[in-house]
Structure 1
Amino acid sequence: MVVALNLQAQTSNLLTQGKYSQLASLYERAIETESEVISHYWHLGLAYLLQEQEEAAQTAWLLAMSEASDEETEQWTEELVQILDTEAQRQLELENLQLSWLIRQHIREIAPSNINNILHIIQLGLGLDNITSQDLNDWQVNTLIQQASPAEIDFDILLETLKKLVDYPIPASLTFAEACLAHYTDQPAAFIDTVMPIAVKMAHQLDRPDFATDLAQLCLRLNSEHPEALRHLSCFHSKAGCHSEAIETAKHFFQNCQSPYWQIQGSYILLRAILSAGSWLDLENIVQRHKALIPKLLQDSDDSLNIDSHILTANFFLPYIEDRPQENRPLQNQIAQIFQTNFQAKSSPVVQTGWTNSITTTKKLKIGYVAHTLKGHSVGWLSRWLFQYYDREAFQTNLYLIYQQAEGYQWFEKQVDCVHTFGVEPQKTATQIKADEIDILVDLDSLTLDTTCQVIALKPAPVQVTWLGWDASGLPAVDYYIADPYVLPENAQDYYSEKIWRLPQTYVAVDGFEVGVPTLRREHLEIPSDAVVYLSSQTGYKRHPDTVRLQIQILSQVPNSYFLVKGRADENTIREFFNKIAEDEGVNPERLRFLSRDPSEFVHRANLGIADIVLDTYPYNGATTTLETLWMGIPLVTKVGQQFAARNSYTFMMNVGVTEGIAWTDDEYVEWGVKLGTDPVLRQQVAWKLRQSRQTSPLWNAKQFTQEMEKAYKQMWQRYVEVNFV
C-alpha cells in the first residue's frame, strides 16, 4: 500500500510539472515489477501520448488488452477512457487545446460511440479552427445524437456545443442543430434561447440572413408560435430579399399577438416587411391601427413592467409614411421614458451611481462615441471627418464599438486615443464608458440599434448627445440633439424631449466623396442621348406613393424624358408599384428604367452622372444620397416638410446656396421638376452653383464644422459644470 501511494504521489507531481518523459520511465519501471497491475499500462500509454508518441501509446494499451476476456475488455476500456478523459479535461483547463484535442481523438478511436467525447472534440476543433463538415459526417455525429438516450448524453455539453457550432456557419452546423431537436421537445426554450441570439448575429452582423433563416425555422419546429423566432424570421426574410415570405411571417406573428405590447411589435414587423418590399398596400389602415395601440400600451402597467428595447423602435417607420412630428414625437418620447425607467430598474445599480469625472471647465475633455455604424454605412462616411480633424490637444476621443465592425472601421481605430469593442453587452459597455470617465458621450446610432439605446439609457456619462444616425430617440438620458437652423423648424423644441443644440450653419459637413468609374451609359439603357433623365435612388422604405405620383406627373409633362429608379426593394413589387402609378397618370411604363444596386458606393456616385435631375423622396428625404447628388453637381428637387427626415435636403441645399428645386407644396415639387427638365440653361446654372460651392460652402468644409462641434462640446460641458457645481 505504501509503495502504491508513493507511486501515485510521484506520478501526480511529474504530471503536474509536465515532466512526461520521466513519467513514462516511472511507469515502465512499475510494469517491470508489477506487470499484473493493468492501470500501469493505461498511464504509460498516456505518458507517451503527452509526448505525442502516438504509436508507442497505442502499443502500450494494445499489449494490455491482448490477453483480456470480453468482460475484461469492456471494463478496462471504460477505465482507460476515464483516465484519458480526466487528462483531456486537465489539459483544457491549462489551455493546451491541441493536446486535449489529441487525447480525445484517441478516446474516439477506443470508444467511437462516446457522444460526449465527440462533443468535446467538436468544441476543441472549433477553438483550433480545424473542424470541417466532413469530420462530423465521418464521426456520424448526428446519428449518435439521435440515438443517444437522455442518460447517455450530457445536456450541458450538448447545449454548449450547439451554441458554438451554430456560431461557426459550416454546412454541418444546421444538420447538427436539427439532430439536437429531439432532445429539446420537452424543453424548447433551452434550444431557442441558445440559437436565436446567434441567428440574429448571423443575419445582422455577419450578413448571413440565409443561415439565420434556417436557424429560426428550426426553432419554430419546437414552438411554431414562438414570438421572438417569428419576429426575427420576418426580418431575416426581408434581409435575404424573400419579401413575400417576410410579409406572410409578419402577418402570422401579428395575428398571434395578444397584448398591446406584442401587438405593437407585430405591427412594427409588418410595416417593416411591407416597406422593405416596396409595397404600400393597405398601409394607411395598418398605420392607424398601429398608432391606436400606443396609448393602450402607455396605459397598460402590466405590459410596461416587461417592456424591452424592441419597443423603442415601434415608431421607426412612421416618418417614412407621414410628416406629423407634433403628433408622433410625443408618442416616441413617452415610449422612450417607459423603456428607460424599466431598463434602469433591471440593470446593475453600479452602472447608475454618480460619476467621478474631474469637474473643471479648463481640462482636456474626454469625448466618447458609441456606434455600430462605422463601416460601409452612411454614418461612417459622414462622421469620419470629425475624427480626422478633431483637436488632439483639447480633446481625448474614445470609440465604443457595438459588434466588431466590418471593413472600414480600422481607419477610425487609428484616429482615436482608445477603442473598446463589445457585443450585445449594454451594461458592460456602459461600465467601461463610466470607468473611462467620459465627459460627453455621443450616440451615432439612435434608434438604428437598440443596444446603443440601452447603453445611453444607463447614463454612463454626465453629458450625452445624439448626432447623425437618425432622428432623436426620445430617451430622457439624452441631453442634447444636434441640429442646425434649417433641419428642424423653429417650434421643434415644443415636441422634443432633448434640448435641441443648433450649430450655426449645418449639422453635418464633409470635404467631399470618393468617386469611382461609371458603369452606366444611356445607350446601355436604350435612352436617347438628347433625352432628359430623372433619377431617384432610395430604399423601398422611402417610396411613398403620393410622392411617386408627383414624380410621374413631372415625367408626363416633360417630353422625351425618362425616369431611373434604383434602390433596395423587391424587384417585381417595385416594378408593379411604379408601372401601376404610371398607367394611372397616362405615362407609358416604357419610360421607366429599374436599375440594380451598384457594387460599391464609389461606383454609385460615379453613375449619378447619367442623370440630369434627381427627384428626392418625401416625407423621408435623402440624406447621404442628397449630399452625393449635390457633390456631383446634379440639380435636385425636394419637398420640405416639418420633421427632421423631411428637411435634410432642404438644409443641405440652403448651405450650398441653391434654392432652385426647393418646394414647399406638391404643386411646387412638380413645377420645379418640370422647369428643370425643360430648361437646360437653368440646369447648367444650378450645376455651376454646385461646383462653385465646393470652394465656399460650409457643407464642404469639414474642418470648420469640426471646430463648431468642438465649440459646442465645450459649451455643453461648461453649462453642465455651472448648473450642477457653481
Structure 2
Amino acid sequence: TTMRRIERDELDVMIDLCGYAGSSRVAELLARRRCAPVQISYMGFPGSSGASYVDYAVFDPIVVPYDAPELREEYSEGIIYMPHCYFVNSHRYVARDDILNDDEVEERLAMRDKYGLPRDAFVYCCHSRPDKIDPATFRAWLRALKRVNVNANANANYSGGPAKEAEAVLWLLRSGPLMERNLRSLAHREFGPGVESSLRFCDVSPRSEHLRRLGASDVFLDTPAYGAHTVGCDALWNGVPMISLLRPTAAAAAATAAAISTTSTTTSITTTTRREEEDAATTAAVPVPVNTDKLASRVGASLLRACGIGDEMIAPAMKDYEDLMVRCAADNEWYGGVREKLKRGRDGYDADGYDTGG
C-alpha cells in the first residue's frame, strides 16, 4: 500500500500539492497519521489548511505579506517564503506552441471571427470561472466599457465619421444560458442596450484551444473575490496583460494615513480617503465591498509582479481598476509598452514568472 511504501522509504519531508482543492491521496494520508517529520502544504489550496499535522505552507510576500500580521495570523502553519511568485508553472516547457503571437495577424483575426469578436475592437477578457465574478467588479467592468465606447463615438462624431458599433467588448466564459441571460439583463437595465451588446460569451474548450484563443484578447480581467491563478498564468504567457486589484494592507494604509496627517492639518486620520469614498460609491449597490485580504484574491498581483508589469497593472482601489481598463483601450502607446514589456520578460528570461529553472 501507499502507507507501507512511505514507511519503507523513511521520508524526511512530505508535500501535499492538493489540500482541500480536490481529491488527494496524500491529503487523506496526512489527515490520518503523520507520514514524515516535516509535512508541507503547497500550491493546490489557496489558504491555510488549519490542520495541526501540516507544519509549513509555501507562499510569497505578495499573497501573505511580511508586514500584515492581521493576515498572517489566519495561518496555522509556519510560512516558507518563495522569493518571487509561489504559483509556479511549466508553460515555458509544455505550452510553447500554444501562443498566438502578435505577428500572426491573420490567425488572430480568424480567431476573433471564430468567436464573434469584432476585428478592430479592444477585447477585455475574463475566462475565469463565472462564479468568481462578484457584482461590484462586474459593474466596474460595465462602467469602463461604457466609458470607452462613449468616448469612441464622441471622437467619431467630432471627426465627422460614423458611430462605431463597439470600440470595446467584454468576452466571458459561459456557464449556461441562465448566466448569460442574467448578465445581459443587468447590463441592459443598468447601463443601456449599447453596453449589453458589447458582451460576448464562449464555451469551455480543450486546453490547447483555451490557451491559444486567449491571444485574441487585449487585456485579461482578474476577479478580486477569487482571483485568476492558472488562467492568469495562461493569459500572461500569451502576452496578454492582466489587471488585478490589490488593496493596501492595514500597515500600508496606516502609513499612508500618517503621511497625510503630517502634511495637512485639515485631514483627520479617522476620515476616509478619497479612494475609499470613490470605492464606497462604486460599490453602493453591493452590501459587502470587495476586499483582497484572502490569499485567493492576491495571486494575480503576485503573478504580475513576477512577470514585471506589477507597477503598471495592479490597481489599489476599484476606481483605479476601472480607470486602468479605460487607459488600456485609450492610450495605445502606453498599452503597447506594457504588452511589449510582458512579452520581453517572457521571451528573454528577464522576468521570474516563467523561469522555473531559476
Q: CA deviation at 1:589?
A: 1.8
Partner residue of 1:537?
127
Q: How far apart are the structure 2 equivalents of 1:539 and 1:614?
A: 13
Q: Equivalent of 2:230, from 592, 616, 624? A: 624
Which TM-score applies when normalising by structure 2? 0.72
Q: Equivalent of 1:677, from 329, 342, 345? A: 329
Contact 2:235 2:242 in 1 (8 A): yes
Q: How far apart are the structure 1 equivalents of 2:312 and 2:342?
A: 11
Partner residue of 2:186?
581
Q: Equivalent of 1:435, from 2, 5, 8? A: 8
1:698 matches 2:271: no
Q: How far apart are the structure 1 equivalents of 2:234 and 2:123?
A: 17
Partner residue of 1:444?
17
Q: How far apart are the structure 2 equivalents of 1:578 and 1:502?
A: 40
Contact 1:514 1:602 in 2 (8 A): no
Contact 1:515 1:603 in 2 (8 A): no
Alignment map for 1:370-381 (pairs within 5 Å): none
Aligned AA (2:181): E
1:594 aligned counterpart, secondary structure:
strand
Structure 1 residues not aligned, in runs of 5+: 1-427, 705-726
Contact 1:515 1:605 in 2 (8 A): no
Q: Equivalent of 1:455, from 19, 24, 29? A: 29
Aligned AA (1:592): L
Q: CA deviation at 1:533?
A: 0.9
Which TM-score applies when normalising by structure 1? 0.36
Q: CA deviation at 1:526?
A: 4.5
Contact 2:133 2:225 in 1 (8 A): no
Are the structure 2 counterparts of residues 534 and 449 from structure 1 closer, same or farther at C-alpha, using a change threshold of 3 Å?
Answer: closer
Aligned AA (1:561): A
Q: CA deviation at 1:475?
A: 1.1
Aligned AA (1:700): Y
- Provide, for residues 247-281 of structure 1, a one-character-per-residue CA deviation record: whole Å limited to 9, x for no partner: xxxxxxxxxxxxxxxxxxxxxxxxxxxxxxxxxxx
Q: Equivalent of 1:657, from 308, 316, 319? A: 308
Contact 1:474 1:497 in 2 (8 A): yes
Q: CA deviation at 1:431?
A: 4.0
Alignment map for 1:331-346 (pairs within 5 Å): none
1:588 aligned counterpart, secondary structure:
helix
- Provide, for residues 232-258 of structure 1, a one-character-per-residue CA deviation record: whole Å limited to 9, x for no partner: xxxxxxxxxxxxxxxxxxxxxxxxxxx
Q: How far apart are the structure 2 equivalents of 1:485 and 1:430?
A: 35
Runs of 4 or more above 6 Å deviation = none
Q: CA deviation at 1:580?
A: 2.4
Q: CA deviation at 1:585?
A: 2.5
- Provide, for residues 92-120 of structure 1, a one-character-per-residue CA deviation record: whole Å limited to 9, x for no partner: xxxxxxxxxxxxxxxxxxxxxxxxxxxxx
Q: How far apart are the structure 2 equivalents of 1:447 and 1:455?
A: 13
Give the CA RMSD over aligned residues.
2.0
Aligned AA (2:213): N
Q: How far apart are the structure 2 equivalents of 1:515 and 1:607?
A: 12
1:470 matches 2:124: no
Are the structure 2 counterparts of residues 433 and 541 from structure 1 closer, same or farther at C-alpha, using a change threshold of 3 Å?
Answer: farther
Alignment map for 1:279-678 (pairs within 5 Å): 428-449=1-22, 451-457=25-31, 458-471=33-46, 472-490=48-66, 491=69, 492-510=71-89, 512=92, 513-516=95-98, 521-559=111-149, 560-566=167-173, 569=175, 571-583=176-188, 584-586=190-192, 587-598=194-205, 600-640=206-246, 641-658=292-309, 659-678=311-330
Return the index of the structure with the highest Cα Rg: 1
Contact 1:532 1:561 in 2 (8 A): yes
1:696 aligned counterpart, secondary structure:
coil
Higher RCO structure, 1 or 2 (CA under 8 Å, sep 6+): 2
Which structure has the highest helix share of the two? 1
Q: How far apart are the structure 2 equivalents of 1:646 and 1:445?
A: 18
- Provide, for residues 386-425 of structure 1, a one-character-per-residue CA deviation record: whole Å limited to 9, x for no partner: xxxxxxxxxxxxxxxxxxxxxxxxxxxxxxxxxxxxxxxx
- Provide, for residues 655-685 of structure 1, a one-character-per-residue CA deviation record: whole Å limited to 9, x for no partner: 1221212112111110111111211212210
Q: How far apart are the structure 2 equivalents of 1:604 and 1:617?
A: 18
Alignment map for 1:229-268 (pairs within 5 Å): none
Between the two proteins, the alignment pairs up a number of residues equal to: 274
Q: CA deviation at 1:703?
A: 1.4
